[in-house]
Structure 1
Amino acid sequence: MHDAASSDAAEPLPDASSRSGPTPDPRRWQALAVLSLVQLMLILDQTVVNVALPSVGADLGFSETGLAWVVNGYAITFGGLLLFGGRLADRVGRRTVFLVGLLLFAAASAAAGMAGSIGFLIGARLVQGVGAALVSPAALSIIALLFADPTERGKALAVWGGLSGIGGTVGVIASGVLTDFASWRWIFLINLPIAVVALVLAPRLIDESRAPGRTALDPLGALLGTGGISLLVFALLNQAGHGADADWTDVRTILELTGGLALLLAFTVRQRFAAQPLMPHGFLAVRSRWLAALLGAMTAAVLAAIFFMLSLYMGAVLHYSPLRTGLCYLPLAVAMLLSVWVANPLLQRFGPRVVGTAGFLLAGTGLLWLSTIGTADRYVSDLLPGTVLFALGAGPVFVSITMAGIAQVSERDAGIASGLLNAAQQVGSALGLAALVLAALNRADSRALAGEGLSQAAVDGYRFGLYLAALIMFAAAIVAGMLLSLVGHASDAGDDRVTENARQSPK
């Protein structure tokens, strides 16, 4: 049984797809459009509430703790359930799980838009996260199966990766526009027409698919993995919500972090000895998979932190309105779309290692530029060049990571591979908010205690946080350049075959 699982995990996806028929599905591009639109909706819902938080708090009488849960509740259930959502899609059916998750997400969005109390809104956000954790890995695995041709898959993943990258930017822009011109409730209600369109079109454009043979869900493994990720994300986001007052020596925080790590260790042991594990035997012995997850976590950490810090900088220091703050991110979104469009032909020629490394270096350079911001309003000279440079690098990075993470998976394990990639990014986002933002706020506090004015002290803190973010991007460039497989290149074909020897002695 273990040998079968291992050989399945080693089988490249093009071969698995070719067994079902040589003729590509003529509906695949229309299906991609629907799936990508839904993914954009899921990602923007992580940031769409940020600019609207003051309006939400004033309307419903939220405390700061309650407002933090409006943001974090979605991230905790989304990140915690992704691995289980991916394996559930493999077992039950990818289209079925996609549609059920989307229906759940739409119902929760309607509830959030009509919420009249703090508890109701937080509960709706938690359910939104559950729906997103079912939809996202199912959708990405469907795309991996629809596009067997390497060139076409590169184009499809470029669209998917690019939209995942700009989703947070679109969320900030939409939040400012809707809050200023309508109501904060529309940041949730706007999801409904998108969900309805997808629910109508998806059954017509996507056939059902599931893992061949019997694929167990491994309920104990799912419980351990979900619990570990959820507890870690909760602990990290909880500390991030306390800002400069965060106390990492707090007994509760230590217990939460220790408990999360212990559950993940137990999950690892369970996967090693289970007959049909949630994470198949030999799955992570393919270098590109775990490296894509690591690099995805690093990228998500930086992206979450810079959105938070730059939004605070523009609002608190430069005194921009929510609408102006959102519109200032528009060049970033445009630059990322352009870079994604350029990334696909570059990936076909040079592979994820070269393109990803170059993207990390360019993104890091943009962050170094941003680390020179000051108290004066110099958007054109300070913010605009740095954000555009960052976006031009981040677009190819997201596409490279996505391609590397799922290019060598089998039909059996497409869902779990997608879940792993998404889960790593969710944990990375939480870690980035906790670590980078905390470092920035602590630096600002120390400068203020040294006698600096509050605005200058805040700017010094943001500079420090952006500088650290740049260092993370440069470190990611080194990792990608030295280790990330050239997925799809003949020269590296041997790196991504998991044999019995590889299982016994992973690289």
Structure 2
Amino acid sequence: MRLLPAYVGGFLVIMDATIVAVALPSTGAALGIDAAALPWVVNSYTLPFAGFLLLGGRLADVLGPRAALLAGLLTFAAATTAGGLAGSAPMLFAARAAQGIGGAVLLPATLAVIATVHPAGPARTRALAAWSAVGAVGATAGTVLGGVLTEWAGWRWVLLVAVPPALAAAAMTVRTVPAHRPGASRPRLDLTGAALVTAGLTAVVLALTMSAVSTLMAGLLLLAGFVARQRRAPDPLLPPSTWRLPGVARGNVVMFTVGLAFFATPVLLALHLQRDSGWSALAAGLAFVPVALALVAGGRLAAWTTVRWGPRRAAATGLAVAAAGYVGLALDAGGYATSVGGPGVLVGLGIGAAFTPITVVATAAVPQAAAGLAGGVLTTTRQLSAAVGLAGLSAVVLAAGEQAAMVVACACCATAAVLAFLLPRTGSPPDQAGPSAPGTASPDS
């Protein structure tokens, strides 16, 4: 029960990035949004979400996981209500932006809460398995629920459906999540670094969304300034030594590589089923139910494989299974069962089984006092990979078709499987000395 608010929060944040996709035509018709501006229903959420993730993660360390989780849930619920009741396009875009900021505080806090309740060991692995499965299901369930709600209740309920569970999770947070007890070295917030990284990440994701080279260069320059700032700041937002902790850099590289393939897949397949196969929004949404169930099964399996096999073998095996699924999607042979359903189940099972060991590796060596930061780094990696993957695979679809995009996705997943063999053999326990003292941590094996 103590972790249920974290699971609910993670599910809602990930789901909301995809749930509006199938409702875009209805939303545009209701609010008078033309085709050129319609993607901003999605972009106005994902841009601030990506930009504020690292800052949100650090806030979980400064304020404490429970306070950050509660603030994120309440902000998310209020903004979602405003979006569902919006009477114009500007109101909807503003509400979606506020949702993204709330989600950027909320998602890293969910990982920090897990680290607080389960500092290390098999219990944390099981908790992370549940968290990974819930997040992966949220990405797919958004498409399913979006189709059902758009067809039966209207586009506003695509947003409003998240309000009751967010408020219920906030109430449970107060009652069940342990309070933060900051130590003597409670971190301070590097406001200059926060401004640089938030603006830089937002610009990079915006550039990838709009194919704007000048904006991309500006974003990269801001991120370079952030890196320089972290080297000399007395209390850096992201201490450079964090990357030298066992598994942090390698885990994030593997997560980024697999994210290039996976996070864009539900969106591309939903559009393919509606545009090319003539499916309704409801039918396209329901087509992902088997994938969602496979993600849950993979997540449950990961709790066992990660402990018994170690993160390296568990991640590589799951990613190999997912790559096999992408082969089926690329072949696009026969009807739904052989072209989407069956291959999609393999992708879901493999990804669900791989996310947990990758998350374990990327966060295990980070001390509890910096658990929010570790969550912010990992979720930023996931969001950037989603933006890059969607932009890249969409370009492939336009140039060469859906099958070619699935071939590229398969290559990304297979590459991630190979990279997984570079992960540490076991998840390292947290080093309470913190990221500023990497010399006390053991090297990657």
- Which residue number corresponds to residue 372 of structure 1? 331
RMSD: 2.1
Whole-angstrom CA distance in 2 between matches of 1:312 and 1:485: 38
- Which residue number corresponds to residue 425 of structure 2? 486
Q: Are 1:332 and 2:291 counterparts?
A: yes
Change (3 A) 1:159 1:267: same
Q: For 1:327-476, list aligned pairs within 5 A.
A: 327-373=286-332, 378-443=335-400, 461-476=401-416
- Which residue number corresponds to residue 188 of structure 2? 216
Residues 372-413 of structure 1 deviation map (CA, whole Å, 9 limit, x = unaligned)? 116x6x001221111011111100111112111211111221
Q: Are 1:258 and 2:244 counterparts?
A: no
Q: For 1:90-239, list aligned pairs within 5 A.
A: 90-209=61-180, 211-212=182-183, 213-239=185-211
Whole-angstrom CA distance in 2 between matches of 1:497 and 1:418: 14
Whole-angstrom CA distance in 1 between matches of 2:64 and 2:312: 33
Alpha-carbon deviation of 1:124? 0.5
Alpha-carbon deviation of 1:280? 2.1
Whole-angstrom CA distance in 1 between matches of 2:240 and 2:350: 34
Asked whether the equivalents of residues 245 and 366 of structure 2 are also in contact (C-alpha less than 8 Å), the reply is: no
Amino acid at match of 2:370: D
Asked whether the equivalents of residues 224 and 267 of structure 1 are also in contact (C-alpha less than 8 Å), the reply is: yes
Gap regions ≥5 residues in structure 1 = 1-29, 240-252, 444-460
- Which residue number corresponds to residue 266 of structure 2? 307
Residues 36-84 of structure 1 deviation map (CA, whole Å, 9 limit, x = unaligned)? 0121011100000001111111111111232111101111111110111
Change (3 A) 1:287 1:439: farther
Whole-angstrom CA distance in 2 between matches of 1:162 and 1:141: 17
- Which residue number corresponds to residue 417 of structure 2? 477
Whole-angstrom CA distance in 2 between matches of 1:353 and 1:346: 10
Alpha-carbon deviation of 1:304? 2.6
Asked whether the equivalents of residues 177 and 326 of structure 1 are also in contact (C-alpha less than 8 Å), the reply is: yes
Secondary structure of the equivalent of 1:371? helix
Residues 250-301 of structure 1 deviation map (CA, whole Å, 9 limit, x = unaligned)? xxx2221111111111111111111111112411012411222222222222
Alpha-carbon deviation of 1:153? 0.7
- Which residue number corresponds to residue 251 of structure 2? 292
Amino acid at match of 1:488: G
Change (3 A) 1:283 1:113: same
Alpha-carbon deviation of 1:442? 1.4
Asked whether the equivalents of residues 326 and 410 of structure 2 are also in contact (C-alpha less than 8 Å), the reply is: yes
Amino acid at match of 2:280: S
Residues 293-331 of structure 1 deviation map (CA, whole Å, 9 limit, x = unaligned)? 222222222123221221121111111111111111000
Whole-angstrom CA distance in 1 between matches of 2:364 and 2:135: 17
- Per mean C-alpha deviation after superposition, the further-off stretch among 266-275 and 297-306 is 297-306
- Which residue number corresponds to residue 23 of structure 1? none
Q: For 1:6-25, list aligned pairs within 5 A.
A: none
Asked whether the equivalents of residues 282 and 502 of structure 1 are also in contact (C-alpha less than 8 Å), the reply is: no
Amino acid at match of 2:351: A
Residues 456-489 of structure 1 deviation map (CA, whole Å, 9 limit, x = unaligned)? xxxxx000000000000111111111x1112336
Whole-angstrom CA distance in 1 between matches of 2:181 and 2:23: 40
TM-score scaled by structure 1? 0.83
Aligned-residue identity in percent: 35
Secondary structure of the equivalent of 2:236? coil
Asked whether the equivalents of residues 365 and 428 of structure 2 are also in contact (C-alpha less than 8 Å), the reply is: no
Asked whether the equivalents of residues 143 and 267 of structure 2 are also in contact (C-alpha less than 8 Å), the reply is: no
**Larger C-alpha radius of gyration, 1 or 2?**
1
Change (3 A) 1:385 1:280: same
Alpha-carbon deviation of 1:234? 0.8
Residue 25 of structure 2: which of 54, 63, 75 is its match? 54
Asked whether the equivalents of residues 256 and 385 of structure 2 are also in contact (C-alpha less than 8 Å), the reply is: yes
Whole-angstrom CA distance in 2 between matches of 1:56 and 1:259: 32
Gap regions ≥5 residues in structure 2 = none
Query: How many residue pairs align between the two structures?
Result: 440
Alpha-carbon deviation of 1:148? 2.7
Whole-angstrom CA distance in 1 between matches of 2:320 and 2:440: 32
Alpha-carbon deviation of 1:499? 5.9
Change (3 A) 1:497 1:190: closer
Whole-angstrom CA distance in 1 between matches of 2:127 and 2:8: 13
Residue 13 of structure 2: which of 42, 46, 63 is its match? 42
Whole-angstrom CA distance in 1 between matches of 2:385 and 2:95: 23
